[in-house]
Amino acid sequence: MNIKILIVEDEFIVGNALRLAVETAGYRVTGMVASVEEAEENMRNQQPDLILLDIRLEGESSGIDLARKLRTENIPFIYLSAHSSQKILEEAKTTEPYGFLVKPFRENDLLVALEIALYRHRHSLEAQLRQEDFLQKQLAAISNETATAEQQLLKIARLLQSYIPFDLISVGPRPFDAAQFNDTAYLRIGFDEYQFIREKELTTITGLTKDELSNIIKNSHTDADAIIYSDEITKQELNDPSLQKTWCDFLNCQAFLVFPVDLKNGSAVHYFFYSRQRAIYTEKHIALLDRLKTYLTELAEKMTHAVRATDQPVSTNKDHSEAANRPEFQGIIGNHPLLLAALDLTTQIAPYNTSVLILGESGTGKEKVAHYIHALSQRAKGPFVKVNCAAIPTTLIESELFGHEKGAFTGAIEKRKGRFEQADGGTIFLDEIGELPLDMQVKLLRVLQEKEISSVGGSSSVKVNVRIVSATNRNLEKEVAEGNFRLDLYYRLNVFPITLPSLRERKTDIETLALFFANRFCQEFNKPFQGIAPSMIEEMRAYNWPGNIRELENIMEQSVILNDGKSKLELRRRLTMAAPALTGEINIETLQDVKHVQQETERAYLISVLKRTNGRIRGTNGAAKMLNVKPTTLEAKMAKLNIKRQDFIQTTGNQ
């Protein structure tokens, strides 16, 4: 084994223990340093393959500062931490580490974390290279087309969207020269829908005159180097009127990236990427644009020579090209940036066999995204097999997943294929993967490693060609820390995570979703649709949506059923299911204190729901339906929290 590891740790005893452990395991240690400066020097001279990185270090820079640089240089790293605050841990998580070890940790945990980090890095690097090679081929094909420069810009924008997220892309000469061409921009208004914006549309949007707009463009970014602006920098440095500030004010952008390309005539054209998400751009985006510079330069040259019919009206309608009508995404409703970012990741990873972990609360659409990944992949013609790990009895999980031989156990009257064998050549979707028992996690790990299964009662293994897409609404990192989920399996599944936003995070989509469901149910029940009452929209926007989109769908169905077809839809249940605020001073010093607060909050929440349903658990208006859980699950939770249903039953005798 010739894998080189750098240890960045300011406690000598801890660092030395790490050195002995990794050297005993066959790794080579390139150094043991205590500061970012020493680490950077070691990296230049020794070029380590992986870095064990403490968050708190000597000097002004922290391990998180170094981690950001490691990410841009594609060097895997594992965090080491002792007593970090929640804020620091959240900041560390944004750097996307390959592992996280909390001191003190066992030697075996360290070695497993190293193995998994190297595995993830190797597979993510291979996937990245394949994806970028595919992107280059697509860009080359666009460059050879006879389409106009603006059409080419739109096609390139669509391709780049999955790699460099943006809400608006703009291209223009700097310094500004109207004789060359005006700034050309596309505003993203849907998953694959863009609004073309030119001078006329920009004056309408901003309310500025043509002369005022020209003056603003002249004051826009002119630097020769690529620059990333975060929200803080934007506020501090964009004091003078500029097109960047105009877009940031109009779109509420939190960051933008400027990438210049030089033309043959000595001038420059700048590409601008704007995003509503904070600190979304990194050096890796600039590095990717550098590798794609040939195509961006060809397009810029074409745009400078394009003859523009500026006196002709420019359509601002949505683009309705073939890509905009892909059937795989027709079930997706909404255009919130967090949702679009998740869909962009879906299209980026779909063509490959990489394992995907879909994260998100119940009712956010994880199964639908898994279907899209399958439909957009090369396995689309193969089977898509869904397994709900939470719905299978523990004693039957192994048989359900891997099959059984005749006579393997009582009731096994014939040989039966398991779900993995049924999914051969296609995709298997393991929903609620966090519910899988530990003994089955070991067997699933073997399938991931060996690509083969053994049926219950069988004497030989069977090779399977299956892509695994898993999903959970649990915090698997927390489950790993509590010993409920294997660390090695977590990192095998978490090669490419996709997080789906909750409905309360994308409230701008609520009205669109409500209209979609209302129209669908009105057609289904053969009722005329008169619209949705403004009071209903207002209350839905103020609601916390614990059940997410599935809960919204249920509410709209109920409203349509109870509507007379002559008036606008109105709410038929009160939306007041926000978790009650804790009162009084809370002293949290141990993990047990945290668990107690969580338990009391959960108990108060369930009580508030049962009060509203008058103790009813089952049925359309029951608490289980509102909470989107099985009645038996709710009853078990009530028993655990010492909540008695009869305390909430009124004289009506609700069940």
State the pLDDT at residue 306.
57
| Residue at a domain's end among 296, 323, 350 | 323
Say if residue 265's pLDDT is above 90. no
Say if residue 510's pLDDT is above 80. yes
Q: What is the mean pLDDT of residues 282-286?
A: 85
CA dist., res. 46 & res. 232, Å (int): 36
Say if residue 308's pLDDT is above 50. no
Say if residue 388's pLDDT is above 80. yes
496-499 vs 467-472, strand pairing mode: unpaired
Domain containing 553 — which CATH number?
1.10.8.60
Phi, psi of 256 (to 5 degrees): -150, 160
pLDDT band at 321 (very low <50, low <70, confident <90, very high): very low
Residues 77 and 57 in one domain: yes
Residues 314 and 394 in one domain: no
E strand or H helix at 422: helix 419-422
| Residue at a domain's end among 469, 501, 533 | 501
The answer to the question of residue 314 being in a domain is yes
E strand or H helix at 66: helix 63-72
The answer to the question of residue 295 being in a domain is yes
Beta strands in 403-479, from DSSP E residues, in sequence order: 427-431, 452-453, 462-463, 467-472
The answer to the question of residue 190 being in a domain is yes
The answer to the question of residue 136 being in a domain is no
| Inter-residue long-range contacts of 457-463, CB under 8 Å, 24+ positions, other chains counted | 457/404, 457/405, 457/406, 457/407, 457/408, 457/409, 457/412, 458/403, 458/404, 458/405, 458/408, 462/421
Nearest to 597 by CA among 587, 607, 610: 587
Question: Rg of the chain's alpha carbons, rounded to an integer?
Answer: 28
CA dist., res. 213 & res. 12, Å (int): 60
**Burial degree of 316 (CB within 10 A; 0-12, 13-18, 19+):** middle
Q: Which domain covers residue 102, as residue numbers?
A: 4-126
The answer to the question of residue 328 being in a domain is no
| Residue at a domain's end among 323, 342, 363 | 323
The first and second tokens of residue 306, run together, are 């394009």
Residues 56 and 116 in one domain: yes
Contacts of 111 (CB under 8 A, 6+ apart): 21, 22, 25
Q: What is the mean pLDDT of residues 413-435?
A: 90
CA dist., res. 530 & res. 549, Å (int): 22
CA dist., res. 400 & res. 384, Å (int): 16
CB atoms closer than 10 angstroms to residue 139: 21
Please state which of the ranges 32-46, 77-91, 329-343, 578-592 shows the lowest mean pLDDT. Answer: 578-592
Residues 69 and 204 in one domain: no
Residues 526 and 616 in one domain: yes
Please state which of the ranges 291-295, 303-307, 381-385 shows the lowest mean pLDDT. Answer: 303-307
Q: Which amino acid is at 602?
A: E
Please state which of the ranges 51-60, 220-229, 269-278 shows the lowest mean pLDDT. Answer: 220-229
Pseudo-torsion of CA 189, 195, 200, 202, nearest 10°?
30
Peptide bond into 165 cis (omega under 30): no
Domain containing 252 — which CATH number?
3.30.450.40
Residues 179 and 311 in one domain: yes
In the Cβ-directed half-sphere of 336, how many Cα atoms lie within 13 Å? 18
C-beta separation of 403 from 418 below 8 A:
yes
28-33 vs 4-8, strand pairing mode: parallel
Say if residue 153's pLDDT is above 60. yes
Total tally of structural domains belonging to the chain: 4
Domain containing 55 — which CATH number?
3.40.50.2300
- What percentage of residues in the chain have a pLDDT greater than 70? 82
pLDDT band at 269 (very low <50, low <70, confident <90, very high): confident
Q: What is the mean pLDDT of residues 46-61?
A: 89
Q: What is the mean pLDDT of residues 41-51?
A: 92
State the pLDDT at residue 57.
87
The answer to the question of residue 137 being in a domain is no
Residues 569 and 628 in one domain: yes
Residues 422 and 393 in one domain: yes
The answer to the question of residue 655 being in a domain is no
CA dist., res. 579 & res. 490, Å (int): 30
Angle at 448 between CA 443 and CA 451, to 5 degrees: 100
Residues 382 and 273 in one domain: no
Please state which of the ranges 22-36, 198-212, 346-360, 502-516 shows the lowest mean pLDDT. Answer: 198-212
Q: What is the mean pLDDT of residues 241-255?
A: 70
State the pLDDT at residue 576.
59
Say if residue 624's pLDDT is above 60. yes
CA dist., res. 282 & res. 228, Å (int): 7
E strand or H helix at 54: strand 50-54
Residues 64 and 81 in one domain: yes
Peptide bond into 175 cis (omega under 30): yes
Using H for helix, E for strand and C for coil, what is the string for 115-144?
HHHHHHHHHHHHHHHHHHHHHHHHHHHHHC
**What 3-state class would DSSP assign to 388?**
strand
Pseudo-torsion of CA 438, 105, 76, 474, nearest 10°?
40
C-beta separation of 64 from 55 below 8 A:
yes
pLDDT band at 651 (very low <50, low <70, confident <90, very high): very low
Residues 490 and 393 in one domain: yes
Q: What is the mean pLDDT of residues 174-186?
A: 66
Domain containing 376 — which CATH number?
3.40.50.300
C-beta separation of 260 from 300 below 8 A:
no
Q: Which residue has the tokens 């199964």?
A: 367
Say if residue 458's pLDDT is above 80. no
The answer to the question of residue 134 being in a domain is no
pLDDT band at 375 (very low <50, low <70, confident <90, very high): very high
CA dist., res. 473 & res. 366, Å (int): 9
Residues 587 and 616 in one domain: yes
